[in-house]
A and B are shown apart, each in its own frame.
Chain A
Amino acid sequence: MFKNRSIKTLASLAVLASSVGVVASVSNGAASAATSSNCATSDLSKVTSPVHITYWESTAGDNLKAMKALVAAYNASQHKVVVTDVNQTGGYTDTWNAYTLSGGSGANVFMDDMNNTQAHVDSRLTTPIADCVSAAKFSTKTYLQKTIVQQTIGGKLQAMPYSASVPVLYYNQQAFTAAGIKKPPTTIDEMAADAHLLTVKGATFSPQKYSDGMSLKNDPWWLELWSAMGKTYYVDHQNGRAGRATSVSFDNARNVSLLTKLQNMVKSSDAKSYSRDGAGLAAYNNLFAISGDKSGMTIDTSAALGTIQSYLPLFKNVTLGVAPLPRLLASDNGGLQPGGNALSLSSKNSALENAAAFNFISYLESATNLASWDASTGYVPITTDAAKAKAISTLWKKKPYYKVAYDQINTGGASNATVGPALGDYYQVNTDVANSLNSLLTNTSVNPATAISQAAATANGHISSYNSSL
């Protein structure tokens, strides 16, 4: 009986492993053979009965409500296409995994992490959206060029950028004023000095009121961003954009210096590290540390701005301040690479389905609808038209800190160095860097140079194994 139980339990786990290999196969030539004939935009105008398409997205909370409203408005606005919106709970990774397990037939159009586009190309389960852009004569001129360069792999626009965000420095203006800090830090050295002031030298508070100075979230994304700010590559072959990435490039003196500075903040008790993971509200501990008067500042995604804004009235001890992510060197001028999500087309779509899906995407990305989406979610407008729309200009006028993230993406020009890596095994490398950050920031006896070299060695092994498996 017991053996049967163990067999059963093991076998259940094995379903996960085996199912990856047994779901429907996909034509290897689909992506490479893509042409504008993949997108029958002219046929769509002639259809007499609507084309039904399935859209997978992974929004949650208020963002989900806003998304449902946009889909409903699109369906009501025309009679050629009917979109069925399927909310995939669990985030981008789960949506992408479900999509690959469906062999590309689960959705006609889906939302995924902007950083996962190389995996789409490797999987051959998506069609480059460039086919539809060209067939529909859709202009990407008004798009923030970093979002376009980021989604371009192999010379073709693979996915349509949709929601963008970048990390910003959140700080409590009341804490800064009390500590005698006149303006937010612009470099990491200034950030460390301010964190120290918050812990020991309050003008109107007793020493140690802000015991942690700064709450540091251990997010591996930061390493990519600080690399982009300094216009240095995160992986080889120009961030995997001049050729397939074969090894990481982040094991360098610049990043050792960066991590040493962050570790020193923890070592001197001017900062406390918090995990980026955790159940319930634990992923926001760095922000709760501010509302709980433990720390005076933190770094987190600008996409959290909407949520922070809605909870702010509960915390009278906090006056929100938002500043650009401090630079490692004052001379760093690369700006920030966008994070967020992009919309992709399935390689299983017929030309008509591609046209229908792109028609829907075009609707979502009209200036008015983008502005409405961004204003209700806190995401950054990805087109200059959306940025000029009334919803956004009014918001920026009323709450100027919403514009901080937009300006950071717009800084530094779009190049392979400033848009982040194109890496098929992105999530595994991300995990390797997270482990290194965790070890550095929770155990201050760990040498930063050793930790980053170990992260690089592990990540290189994973990249090599991934590349050889394709």
Chain B
Amino acid sequence: MSAKRSARVREATLGYALILPALLLVTVFVLYPFFRNFSLFLYHAPPYPGLPSKWAGLSQMWETVSSTSFQQGLEATLLYTVLVVPIGVLLGLVFAVAAHQKLKGMAIYRTIFATTAVSSVAVAAVVFGTFMNPVFGLLPWLGIDPNPSVLQNPTWAMFAMAVIGLWQFVGLSFILFSAGLQSLPEEVLEAAKIDGAGAVRSFFQITVPLLSPTIFYVFTVGTIAAMFTFGQMDLLVGPGGASFVRVNTLAYQIYQYAVTTPNPGVAACISIALFILTATITFLNFRFLERRVNYAT
């Protein structure tokens, strides 16, 4: 073996050794569970380990996706996504542009907006849950005392969930747009200014096109994250009321069938259906939105 070949082997060995821990983690916690779904959905799995599974074939999948609860979950998931993502992208962009000024104290302003992204859903749920509390919350303090309360009302509960999701998503969106704005070529903006373009025209004709890769990224990532939301539903409404107030998203149903009232076969069916749905929406995003993205910065 030549010295050159031996060095290459050593280098490759070192490379594989370095990625091995990450590869193991991904295999154990991502790949294996993902593929395990595809065997679980074919069986009526027992609620407890050690009991035998019974073959169900594709019938379990059909029964699951044709059930009323799945259809309600699908509606809730899509409604939540529609309520949170477009507004979150828009607000994040507006706040990021507003914060992209060389003014004193702007760092504090940026920090305030960014903190919502790093707050856990539990914190957000407790804060907003307190605001919306029908006894000692902000609403009764303002003299608004709806009966049933916001979180018990099928008309308003999803909007309440969306407000919490929006509050968190705007922080992430703000951070990403702020980073995108800092990478924009200053000379293009200055040239537009010299050519007489006003702030609004500059924003729509230069900033937005140049930021379009970031907008596309935020929109796509936000959509995927919204499709998997269930934290605030579980913390503020719970499984006992989620389907009644129409916030029983598909992700929350997976959690319930996997953890609260174990039925792993059904959980796997919903997981696969949600995966296909998310993959389809992501594909459509790429197919139709990416055309409008301008990568030439």
**A443 contacts across to B, CB distance below 8 A:** 148, 154
Question: In the complex, are the beta carbons of A438 and B244 less than 8 A apart?
Answer: yes
**A462 contacts across to B, CB distance below 8 A:** 261
**A281 contacts across to B, CB distance below 8 A:** 130, 133
Instruction: From the candidates A5, A7, A16, A288, name the one contacting B135 in the complex (CB within 8 A).
Output: A288
Nearest chain B residue, comparing its CB with the CB of A290: B135
Given contacts A16-B258, A100-B48, A277-B237, contact A442 B135 (CB under 8 A): no
Given contacts A3-B279, A21-B40, contact A13 B48 (CB under 8 A): no
Segment 404-438 of A: residues with Cβ below 8 Å from B: 424-425, 427-428, 430-431, 434-435, 438
User: Does B167 reach chain A (CB closer than 8 Å)?
Assistant: no
Given contacts A122-B47, A469-B44, contact A10 B264 (CB under 8 A): no
Q: How large is the interface on A (under 10, 10 to 19, 20 to 34, 35 or more residues)?
A: 35 or more
**B54 contacts across to A, CB distance below 8 A:** 468-469
User: Does A69 reach chain B (CB closer than 8 Å)?
Assistant: no
Given contacts A11-B33, A16-B259, A17-B264, contact A24 B49 (CB under 8 A): yes
Given contacts A9-B228, A18-B264, contact A277 B241 (CB under 8 A): yes
**B65 contacts across to A, CB distance below 8 A:** none
**A434 contacts across to B, CB distance below 8 A:** 240-241
Nearest chain B residue, comparing its CB with the CB of A122: B48
Q: How large is the interface on B (under 10, 10 to 19, 20 to 34, 35 or more residues)?
A: 35 or more
Q: How far in angstroms is the closest Cβ of chain B from A405?
A: 24
Given contacts A20-B258, A288-B136, contact A13 B228 (CB under 8 A): yes
User: Does A19 reach chain B (CB closer than 8 Å)?
Assistant: yes
Of the candidate stretches B102-110, B192-200, B270-278, the one touching chain A is: B270-278
| Chain B 16-49 near chain A by CB (<8 Å), digits 1 or 0 | 0000000000000111111011001000111111
Q: How far in angstroms is the closest Cβ of chain B from A269?
A: 8
User: Does B282 reach chain A (CB closer than 8 Å)?
Assistant: yes
Nearest chain A residue, comparing its CB with the CB of B268: A17
Question: In the complex, are the beta carbons of B221 and A5 less than 8 A apart?
Answer: yes
**B134 contacts across to A, CB distance below 8 A:** 272, 274, 285
**B240 contacts across to A, CB distance below 8 A:** 218, 220, 275-277, 430-431, 434-435, 438
Q: B-side interface residues toward A, CB under 8 Å? A: 29-34, 36-37, 40, 44-51, 53-54, 122, 125-126, 129-130, 133-136, 147-149, 151-154, 220-221, 224-225, 228, 235-241, 243-245, 251, 254-255, 257-264, 267-268, 271, 274-275, 278-279, 282, 285-286
Q: A431-B261, A465-B263, A469-B45 are in contact. List 9 more A-B contacts (CB 8 A).
A: A5-B224, A7-B30, A9-B225, A20-B258, A273-B148, A425-B47, A435-B243, A469-B51, A470-B47
